[in-house]
Amino acid sequence: MPLTVRRALPEEFDRVGEMTATAYVHDGHLPADYSYVQVLRDAPARAREADLLVATDGTTLLGTVTWCPDGSAYTELAGPGEGEFRMLAVPPEARRRGAARALVRACLDRSSAAGHTRVVLSTQPGMTAAHALYASFGFVRDPDRDWEPAPGVQLLAYALELGPGS
């Protein structure tokens, strides 16, 4: 069955939150007791303040991402004319099925439809699979926007210029 990307339904929020936290913790990007894990689990807040998207094969949720529309409380890097997405997560058992790629494409499409000329994101240095995915779309490092949300937590910035028809 082909993958589709859509907004998460309220009855899926618990699963989406757990999926996000599990993906980050399983891969060693965060310890299970780190405070940000609770932010990752709080899918209802993301759905209220941003666009909480899921990839599904029709029966199973395969991944999730938070796209930050203009004015979203979840925006961290984006300025005027820029789109942003965060918290891309695909659980280990759903990987290698195209969910992450479909979710990134959906964010790029939303940014293009919103009239953005650029999309930005933050990622941890150890998220090398995500770095490769972003590079495959044409994202490049934007080191001037690297930042630390908490002492000792380094985030790398990436950006993609959107051309006509992106």
- Domain definitions of the chain by residue range: 4-161
Instruction: Count CB neighbours of 113 within 10 A.
Output: 9
First to last CA, the chain: 26
Q: How far is CA 39 from CA 21, 32, 60, 99, 123, in A?
A: 9, 12, 23, 22, 16
Say if CB 84 and CB 123 are below 8 A apart. Answer: no
Model-wide pTM > 0.85: yes
pLDDT tens digit sequence for 111-137: 999 999 999 999 988 888 899 999 999
Q: Enter the DSSP assignment of 59.
A: S
Average of per-residue pLDDT values in the chain: 89
Count of alpha carbons within 13 angstroms of residue 134, beta-carbon side: 25
Report pLDDT for 122. 94
pLDDT digits (tens, 9 = 90+) for 28-57: 666 566 667 677 789 999 999 999 999 999
Q: Give the residue carrying structure tokens 């891969």.
A: 27
Does domain 4-161 correspond to CATH entry 3.40.630.30?
A: yes
Kindly report the number of other CB atoms within 10 A of residue 35's CB atom: 8
